[in-house]
């Protein structure tokens, strides 16, 4: 009987020990709307490396810093909209973007550029013909008088862009002094790294015809240009994603009629 009791106690103790060891701590799911990029690294084909880090207040972007330089960009909000960005070199403001909104969209962007000698001031105007069709002007050239520091004869490239319902670019056409260029884009169905940064896509998805700032991640961009110069250019990207469907690594290959093919690698780190 004594032996039986001891065996029973041993079995009870073993059962408790096994139960305790097998207990798995519950993993709390990540709220996907709170995932934010904290660091971007770009590695060029010749192994040049560029790093940008980000600071936030909640999901609002406060500041981005170019690591290894004295350059940074500071963001100013009104509610959930970014109304101004300022690029600094040390303590000097060298580039400012100021945004006007109508019905939640950017309809004007005033640029003050002190990079190119003197002060260049111009405004990009965005005309929405429908929810999926917008035209705008982009600065191309000007005549600068170093004696007065004044830019005159400002010329613009005109863009005619079609966008999807979730703010990806579909096609675009640009015209400038007899040169016409067409763009066609395709995207994946995953999350762009900047998706949750409050107001960021609104001010930047038409920043570049390259199409890499959008709701999703660019897969291909194909462009053909005709006029005084004829040719083609394209980019194709392969993405590696984390468990939350955000890219952590992107390898983009660029091809062009005028330049050799080259590839850049982009690495993204997140807050969770």
Domain spans of the chain, in order of start: 57-236
Q: Predicted confidence band at 8 (pLDDT cuts at 50, 70, 90)?
A: very low
* Predicted local confidence at residue 22, as pLDDT: 55
pLDDT tens profile 118-169:
899 999 999 999 999 999 999 999 999 999 988 999 999 999 999 999 999 9
What is the DSSP pairing of strand 179-187 with strand 169-176? antiparallel
Q: How far apart are CA 65 and CA 87, in angstroms?
A: 10
User: Do 3 and 11 form a contact (C-beta atoms < 8 A)?
Assistant: no
Q: SS3 for 178?
A: coil
pLDDT > 70: what percent of the chain? Answer: 90
Q: How far apart are CA 260 and CA 241, in angstroms?
A: 28
Among the listed residues 228, 230, 148, 233, the one whose alpha carbon sits nearest the alpha carbon of residue 183: 233
Q: How far apart are CA 209 and CA 225, in angstroms?
A: 13
Q: How far apart are CA 74 and CA 9, in angstroms?
A: 67
Q: How far apart are CA 155 and CA 139, in angstroms?
A: 6
Q: Predicted confidence band at 10 (pLDDT cuts at 50, 70, 90)?
A: very low
User: Do 194 and 211 form a contact (C-beta atoms < 8 A)?
Assistant: no
* Predicted local confidence at residue 115, as pLDDT: 86
Average pLDDT along the chain: 91
pLDDT tens profile 184-194:
999 999 999 99
| pLDDT exceeds 70 at position 40 | yes
| pLDDT exceeds 90 at position 26 | no
* Predicted local confidence at residue 30, as pLDDT: 86
Report the predicted TM-score, pTM, of the whole model to 2 decimal places: 0.88
* Predicted local confidence at residue 2, as pLDDT: 37
* Predicted local confidence at residue 15, as pLDDT: 44
Task: Give the number of other CB atoms < 10 A from CB of residue 136.
Answer: 20
* Predicted local confidence at residue 24, as pLDDT: 56
| pLDDT exceeds 60 at position 16 | no
């Amino acid at each position: 009987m004594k032996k039986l009791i001891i065996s029973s106690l041993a079995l009870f103790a073993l059962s408790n020990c096994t139960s305790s060891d097998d207990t798995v701590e519950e993993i709390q799911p990540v709220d996907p709307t709170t995932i934010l990029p904290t660091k971007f690294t770009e590695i060029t084909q010749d192994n040049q490396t560029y790093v940008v880090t980000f600071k936030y207040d909640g999901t609002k972007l406060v500041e981005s810093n170019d690591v290894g330089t004295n350059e940074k960009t500071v963001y100013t909000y009104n509610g959930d909209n970014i109304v101004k960005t300022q690029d600094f070199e040390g303590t000097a403001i060298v580039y400012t973007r100021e945004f006007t909104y109508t019905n939640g969209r950017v309809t004007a962007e005033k640029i003050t550029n002190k990079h190119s000698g003197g002060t260049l001031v111009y405004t990009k105007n965005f005309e929405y013909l429908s929810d999926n069709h917008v035209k705008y002007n982009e600065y191309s050239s000007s005549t600068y008088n170093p004696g007065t520091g004044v830019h005159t004869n400002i010329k613009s490239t005109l863009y005619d862009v079609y966008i999807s319902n979730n703010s990806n670019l579909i096609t675009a056409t640009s015209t400038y002094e007899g040169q016409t260029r067409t763009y066609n884009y395709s995207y994946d169905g995953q999350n762009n790294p900047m998706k949750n940064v409050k107001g960021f896509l609104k001010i930047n998805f038409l920043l570049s015809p390259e199409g890499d700032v959008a709701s999703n991640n660019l897969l291909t961009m194909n462009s053909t240009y005709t006029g005084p110069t004829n040719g083609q250019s394209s980019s194709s990207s392969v993405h590696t994603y984390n468990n939350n469907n955000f890219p952590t690594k992107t390898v983009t290959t660029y091809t062009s009629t005028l330049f050799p093919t080259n590839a850049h690698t982009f690495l993204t780190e997140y807050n969770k």
